[in-house]
Amino acid sequence: MRYPVETIRKFGSQIFEKAGLSPEDAAVSMDCLLMADLRGMRTHGTTHMKDYCRRVSIGTTAVGVEPEIVETAPSTLTVDAKHTIGMATGLKVMRRCIENAKKTGTCVAAVHNGCHYGLGAYFPMKAAEEGMIGFSFANTPPLVAPFGSAEPLLGTNPISIVIPAGRYPDLVLDMATSVVAKGKISLALKEGKTIPEGWALDKDGAPTTDPAAANVGALVPFGQHKGYALCLIVSLLSFALSGADMDIDIPRFFEETEKITNVGYFMGAIDISKFCPVDVFKSRVDRMFDVIKNSRPAVGFSKVLIPGELEVNMTQKSLEEGIDLSEATLKDFRAMSETYGVEYVF
């Protein structure tokens, strides 16, 4: 069943407030989860509201404290997130990056003691709204084998970059550095299907199409040794600058809700106006997108896409037709409505 975005937003914000978040943090957190749902990234959306609330209720996500943002130089920030809710904290950090970048041209932040921050693209999308190029990286629990290794030592360490366009939607890259997310292995296992070659390794590091073998093995980085390097760099930027945990020490956020997390984020913004007028930049981006969109599709393709284009189409559809909530999510919503005394409206 599909439900209007604003209905879900109002319900979810009330739940987050009753759970203990400030009205502002509740609204931002809900906005970030909804943005994921709208864009079709359901794994980062409202399906996890109950897990965020559970963490708040047992204290593994903190409320009533603010992240400590320290300007160590005009263009660098260090942040102790103090285990506060990731979506709201991520935005606070990005807003400060944007503010500083307006003065110095660019600003980057290294964050430790972070919780899962939801949709990584949410933060650089805010930078793009301000005429900036934004990016955000984070490290995550170990699921991915370094190229040539049999052991899952790296996270699926996502890369999120947004570059503003003019006539076109902004370029939004939001990707795991693994070929696929772990969820796709679990789904194949549940449905009794095989998985394509190139997704995962068994426990000896041999390629496998058996999801059960993959489940006790490891995911592989996208693009072999090249993606491995990027996955590792995301990890180093996220933990080695900030002092967050290494990937192998990060618990699974939604499954091990009783464990405190010390995830690292590395994010920043680059003020385009320090290089050229923003509309000139956007017209250059549009020119490239014209060239790409007007090119001949390859055999087997009907059109050529700009990164993030599919998600813009999905967002428009969801805004018009509502967001499709699963039975499981509705069940969670009903339970939360009782726990927190918020009217169930679905």
Is 134:269 a contact under the CB 8 Å cutoff?
yes
CA dist list (Å): 279 to 167, 246, 282:
10, 41, 5
- Cβ neighbourhood burial of 103 (10 Å; 0-12, 13-18, 19+): exposed
Q: Judged by CB under 8 A, how many residues of this single chain contact a second copy?
A: 79
Site membership for a second copy, residue 224 (CB under 8 A): yes
Minimum Å gap between C-beta 145 and a second copy is 7
Site membership for a second copy, residue 242 (CB under 8 A): yes
Minimum Å gap between C-beta 63 and a second copy is 27
Out of 4, 57, 147, 215, the residue judged to bind a second copy by CB under 8 A: 147
Q: Binding pattern to a second copy, positions 69-88, x when CB under 8 A?
A: ---xxxxx-x----------
Out of 2, 167, 193, 225, the residue judged to bind a second copy by CB under 8 A: 225
Site membership for a second copy, residue 51 (CB under 8 A): no
Site membership for a second copy, residue 107 (CB under 8 A): yes
Out of 295, 320, 321, 328, the residue judged to bind a second copy by CB under 8 A: 295
Task: Choose among 288, 272, 254, 315: nearest CA to 121.
Answer: 315
Q: Which residues of 132-153 are buried (b: 16+ CB within 10 A; e: fewer)?
A: bbbbbbbbbbbbbbbbeeeebb
Minimum Å gap between C-beta 128 and a second copy is 12
Task: Choose among 31, 25, 24: nearest CA to 9.
Answer: 31
Instruction: Choose between 251 and 307: whose C-beta lies nearer to a second copy.
Output: 307
For residue 163, the one-letter residue type is I
3-state secondary structure of 177: coil
Out of 187, 230, 312, 330, the residue judged to bind a second copy by CB under 8 A: 230
Site membership for a second copy, residue 337 (CB under 8 A): no
Q: Could you tell me which stretch among 31-39, 199-207, 314-322, 325-333 binds a second copy (CB under 8 A)?
A: 199-207
What 193-197 contacts at long range (C-beta under 8 Å, 24+ apart), as own/partner pairs, is none
Instruction: Choose between 8 and 179: whose C-beta lies nearer to a second copy.
Output: 179
- Listing from the earlier edge strand, what are the strands of the sheet with 207-208? 207-208, 200-201, 218-219
Widest CA span of the chain, in angstroms?
A: 56
Instruction: Choose between 30 and 109: whose C-beta lies nearer to a second copy.
Output: 109
Out of 190, 216, 298, 327, the residue judged to bind a second copy by CB under 8 A: 298
Q: For 13, phi and psi rounded to 5 degrees?
A: -65, -40
Site membership for a second copy, residue 216 (CB under 8 A): no
